Structure 1
Amino acid sequence: MRRHTLRSLLTAATLLAAPAALAQSGSAPAPADANPVVATVNGIKIYMSDIQADAQNAPPQVQQLPPDQLFPLLVNQEIDRKALLIAAQKEGLQNNPDVAKAMQAAANIRLENAYVQEQVAPQVTDTAVQAIYNRDYAGKPGPAQVEARHILVSTQKQAEDIIAQLNKGADFAKLAEKYSIDPGAKNGGELGWFSQDEMVPAFANAAFALKPGQYTKAPVQTQFGWHVILCEGKRTAPTPALADVSDQIKQKLADQAVQKVLDQARSQVKIQTFDAAGAPAAAPAAGSQSK
């Protein structure tokens, strides 16, 4: 089934509401409301924005539903939630100490996240991303890379047998197609170009130690199994385009900004830690001095 984009789903879902309203009124369409009410439960309004939020948080298999199925599904889900909330409130469950504690904890987490987002967002801008790109990438060569193939098997003995066949002149790609349990086996074990930090250490170290045309003379073990690796080439990667590293830079900026927010928040409070028995720790946690 072809996957609809979220935007097309929401646009179609908004349009779905119009024919029903027109059928009931029999009149000319009114100007479209940017955030129309799609249902009410005891007078509590459910808005299109609620449905949009639900769609964004829905599992992928739900997002793939056709618009004429997705929209009523999400509306009914919101109706169910509102009905359950009303029933719970009638029972006074919000006054149950355990429930009240859990509700407060959820509210606190939401507030903490909102604060972090508010502090971090201004630091992750297109201007900041461009500055990092200019400093760390522009005009500089990329990392060293290796082009390689590999054959992945389950045991050391299997790998040693494959190396023995290679020593007798067997074709690496054909052996990969025949023996490798890696998904890339159908392509002759081809991995393409990769940098050292893109592979697990044992594999990367073995691949980068080879010269073009060489293969590993001893099996290489990783958590995935036993590998035989063929080096097909080496190069310095070209300078990446901004679009290729933009997400990576944004993540780095966000991580740094979050840590800065945490450090600042901790510096403004007094912190005391205790051991497992409840006794005060010998010294306060680092950075816990109050201002």
Structure 2
Amino acid sequence: MKHLRFRSALCVPALRFSLTALLPVLALSAILSAFPAAAQTTNAAPQTKPAEQVAIDPATTVVATVGGEPIFLSEILQQIQQLPQQYQQAPMEQIYPPMLDRAIDSRLIAEAARKAGIQDRDEVKVRVKRAETDIISEVYMTDIVKDAVDEDALRKRYEETIKGDADAGEEVKARHILVAKEDDAKAIIEELKKGADFAKLAAEKSTGPSGSSGGDLGYFTADAMVPAFSEAAFAMKAGEFTQTPVKTQFGWHVIKVEDRRAVQPPSFEQVQPQLAQDMTREILTKAVEELRSGVDIKRFGPDGSELQTK
């Protein structure tokens, strides 16, 4: 079955290699065949590093030479970063050898291509120029974002837009018991009036998925539930339960409110990725708008005719 796993992994779009798909097949095969073992050892205790081990500089550490030309560790690490996340997490001792082989093969193939004069072809020059444009554009925009989207900026945005939202509203913590018939709900209410434990009754009688946890729904806002349920829940104080059954499309509910509080904002760590994404989009959009400002830009259709600016 190993060949099936290898074939399906090759179909993953995230496997973006700089060479054609054919060139790194042997190296990639070794990575993929090593991955199951890597996954099994992911949770193993970390190995202790020798006390005499010193930090190394990937940019100057030579890991191979090809015809006397060095390959540095930084090249291998960069290749690993281009792999899908699950392979990046594989132990280095498993993923390093095939990636080193790939770097060596890449160097050999590139040298053979240069000797064949591939770099002098017009179509190759066009692709190289396009790649250069893409790379320098990406680095330029990355620098703009890096200088503006740091932790201080993100925390400031968090304080202003999320934590500082005074109109976040209220939420309640409640339990409920769901039954199919109104009479059954009324009978449960009578038991509660006599002092029965709500969570215990929910575990015994509720047909809803929360029954096994005593009917616990946790905290929720009014818009998180169907209107009839929310109206009943938010009309009660903490410690109260409904005196009459509540009808919804799911059946008949008996609801108990255990707590009320202002909506708690998510933590900075929870929203940090989204904040970074939003700020990055805003900064890049503004940067492109500024670059367009004052520049004479003309657009043409597929037939070469000029398009009218809206």
Does residue 267 of structure 1 match 2:273?
no
> Number of residues paired by the alignment?
228
> What is residue 161 of structure 2 aligned with on the other side?
136
Would the aligned equivalents of 1:147 and 1:231 in 2 still touch at CA under 8 Å?
Answer: no
> What is residue 124 of structure 1 aligned with on the other side?
149
Q: Secondary structure at the match of 1:137?
A: helix
> What is residue 124 of structure 2 aligned with on the other side?
99
Give the superposition deviation at 1:37.
Answer: 0.3
Give the superposition deviation at 1:139.
Answer: 4.6
Distance 2:134 2:94 in 1: 33
Distance 1:110 1:118 in 2: 12
Does residue 56 of structure 1 match 2:81?
yes
Does residue 173 of structure 1 match 2:199?
no
**Deviations 1:96-143 (CA, angstroms, capped at 9, x unpaired):** 222222222122111110110112211112222232223223454546
Among candidates 235, 246, 251, match of residue 272 of structure 2? 246
Does residue 3 of structure 1 match 2:42?
yes
Q: Secondary structure at the match of 2:208?
A: helix
Give the superposition deviation at 1:240.
Answer: 3.1
**Deviations 1:220-243 (CA, angstroms, capped at 9, x unpaired):** xxxxxxxxxx99988642133333
Would the aligned equivalents of 2:228 and 2:248 in 1 still touch at CA under 8 Å?
Answer: no
Distance 1:48 1:215 in 2: 67
Unaligned runs of 5+ in 2: 1-39, 185-204, 234-241
Q: 1:131–1:30: structure 2 CA closer, same or farther, 3 Å change rule?
A: closer
Q: 1:72–1:273: structure 2 CA closer, same or farther, 3 Å change rule?
A: same
Among candidates 83, 93, 102, match of residue 77 of structure 1? 102
Q: 1:281–1:30: structure 2 CA closer, same or farther, 3 Å change rule?
A: closer
> What is residue 47 of structure 1 aligned with on the other side?
72
- TM-score (ref. length: structure 1): 0.61
Would the aligned equivalents of 1:166 and 1:172 in 2 still touch at CA under 8 Å?
Answer: no
RMSD of the TM alignment (CA)? 4.2
> What is residue 65 of structure 1 aligned with on the other side?
90
Distance 1:49 1:73 in 2: 15
Give the superposition deviation at 1:207.
Answer: 4.1
Q: 1:166–1:96: structure 2 CA closer, same or farther, 3 Å change rule?
A: farther
Distance 1:231 1:101 in 2: 69
Q: 1:76–1:259: structure 2 CA closer, same or farther, 3 Å change rule?
A: same
Give the superposition deviation at 1:205.
Answer: 7.7
Q: Which has the larger radius of gyration?
A: 2
Distance 1:32 1:191 in 2: 51
Unaligned runs of 5+ in 1: 16-28, 150-162, 178-185, 197-203, 219-229, 286-291
| Letter of the 2:96 counterpart | F
